[in-house]
Structure 1
Amino acid sequence: MKKNNPHAEGPDGLACIARLPLSSATLNHLATLMRDHPKKIGSPWRALPPGKIAGIVLAVLRCDQRPGDPAGGNGLYRTAVTRWVREVVGLLVARVPSLDRALKKIARNGGGIVLLDGSLIRTRRRIGGENRKNYSGKRKCHGLPVIALTDGKGRLLWVSAVRPGRTSEITACRHDKPTAHLRAVGLGAVARRWASSAWTTVARSPTRR
């Protein structure tokens, strides 16, 4: 006899709690930014507390969660979550130091060597003509390449702007001209040895005297 099992999903959809692989310090830092920013722009009211807004934004940025999903689970409009994500991205970008500033800080603290490498941030496949330029032939996937700079202990100092996925790491490195910035402050860099004069030059940058 066929059983008539009830549907698990109700008319309003399902809501679930997700666990993010992030530290509480990240959440608190983001919540502080979201707490101070509305006051500065003269719009102090928000539909949720700063801590909860920070958690929703992190879910969207870290796990590629669709804005409409956390919006529906919290009784919000999708546009509100999208606006919060854009606000947070803008606040974080404003706090990113320039390459010169990051290198000068290392030099002032007595550092002599920095680590330089490239990475690809994977993205979804885009539609139409935008799809081809974001495909990385080297890694056989879609994404956006960045150049990252860290100190000798691997702590992140600076990240370049993203570029189309078809851009090679060598081309991105040449565009940002890290060797010129390194020489200006008397620092050397350690990079993976690529079959290119650009990366060889980076590896042979003069150390601080």
Structure 2
Amino acid sequence: MLFYRAALPLSRRTLTYPAGVIRRHRKAIGSPWRRLGPGRQALLVLVHLRKGETFAELAAGFGVGTATAWRYVCETVALLARRSPRLEQVLRAAKRTGYAFVILDGTLIPIDRVAADRPHYSGKHQRDGMNIQVIAAPDGTLLWTSGSLPGSVHDLTAARIWGIIRRLEAAGLITLADKGYIGAGQQVLVPYKGRNKPTPQKMANSARAKLRGPGERANAQLKTWRILRKLRCCPLRAGQLVKAISVLQMREAG
């Protein structure tokens, strides 16, 4: 096997944060000596999430067994996902910050599934995947991500399952969303439907589309973590992975 040095396009604080989380966890559980220290374990996990390297590649690069690499990743992802903010906290913070609105959008995390797994097939995206709901600030800053549901679940249905619509109404926050959320209620502003719309409705659709643009960039930023470009693990882990990555993404942006 050949080895080479490589760079990871992340800041030092994005490494320091998970390393601190791992260090505190090891102390809390009285963990014995491990092959890799907290910093090296954090780096291993970042390489897996950001570059999508397999467990075999991680094991070879960091000098550990494949099963050890898998345990390190699962442990760290779970620790980070637990630190993902709750929706109520995010909406209260958005209200205090004085955001004029927030952006709600759904994204599909592709998965490696066979054709028989129809519940995971998204007709909108024409591929198998898991539905994730994302809330972003007006400037595109990622604020919150939901758990995962099969790709066949409609965005509006997913938003209702996670209680997003109800909580947005309770918080009194104006929300911009695409036509996948038509019928969500007055608090969620969606494009006007139909052909030959009057000029005011066309202008409103154009203005809202421009305001929603940063929210779509938030989804694109998530996909810069290559592990999310196509999951080859259990689909049920998609939500946990996205929450862990969202915590890291917020650290990187902060």
Cα gap change, 1:185 to 1:69, in 2 (>3 Å):
same
Contact 2:120 2:130 in 1 (8 A): yes
Counterpart Cα distance in 1 of 2:177 and 2:10: 28
Q: Decide which of 96, 100, 123 is 1:137's aligned counterpart.
A: 123
C-alpha offsets along residues 18-61 of structure 1, whole Å, 9 cap, x if unaligned? 33333332222222212221111110522122222112111222
- 43-52 or 193-202, which deviates more: 193-202
Are residues 1:161 and 2:147 paired?
A: yes
- Highest Rg: 1 or 2? 1
For 2:113, the equivalent position in structure 1 comes to: 126
For 2:184, the equivalent position in structure 1 comes to: 198
Counterpart Cα distance in 2 of 1:16 and 1:127: 35
Contact 1:115 1:189 in 2 (8 A): yes
For 2:174, the equivalent position in structure 1 comes to: 188
Counterpart Cα distance in 1 of 2:105 and 2:185: 10
Contact 2:175 2:187 in 1 (8 A): no
SS, match of residue 14 in structure 1: coil
Contact 1:193 1:203 in 2 (8 A): no
C-alpha offsets along residues 46-100 of structure 1, whole Å, 9 cap, x if unaligned? 2122222112111222232211211123321111111111111111111111111
- The two structures have a TM-score, normalised by structure 2, of 0.67
For 2:198, the equivalent position in structure 1 comes to: none
Are residues 1:78 and 2:66 paired?
A: yes
Cα drift, residue 111 of structure 1: 3.0
Counterpart Cα distance in 2 of 1:14 and 1:168: 46
Counterpart Cα distance in 2 of 1:195 and 1:55: 39
Are residues 1:113 and 2:113 paired?
A: no
Q: Decide which of 160, 172, 178 is 2:164's aligned counterpart.
A: 178
Contact 1:135 1:166 in 2 (8 A): yes
For 2:247, the equivalent position in structure 1 comes to: none
Cα drift, residue 128 of structure 1: 7.4
Cα drift, residue 148 of structure 1: 0.5
Q: Percent of aligned positions with the same letter in both sequences?
A: 37
Q: Decide which of 33, 40, 43 is 1:55's aligned counterpart.
A: 43
Cα gap change, 1:165 to 1:78, in 2 (>3 Å):
same
Give the paired residue count.
190
Cα drift, residue 157 of structure 1: 1.3
> 5+ residue gaps in structure 2?
191-254
| Root mean square deviation of aligned Cα | 2.2
Counterpart Cα distance in 1 of 2:178 and 2:13: 32
SS, match of residue 67 in structure 2: helix
SS, match of residue 148 in structure 2: coil
Cα drift, residue 127 of structure 1: 4.6
Letter in 2 for 1:111: Y
Cα drift, residue 171 of structure 1: 2.0
> 5+ residue gaps in structure 1?
1-12, 205-209
Contact 1:116 1:189 in 2 (8 A): yes
Letter in 1 for 2:9: P
- 36-45 or 76-85, which deviates more: 36-45
Cα drift, residue 200 of structure 1: 6.7
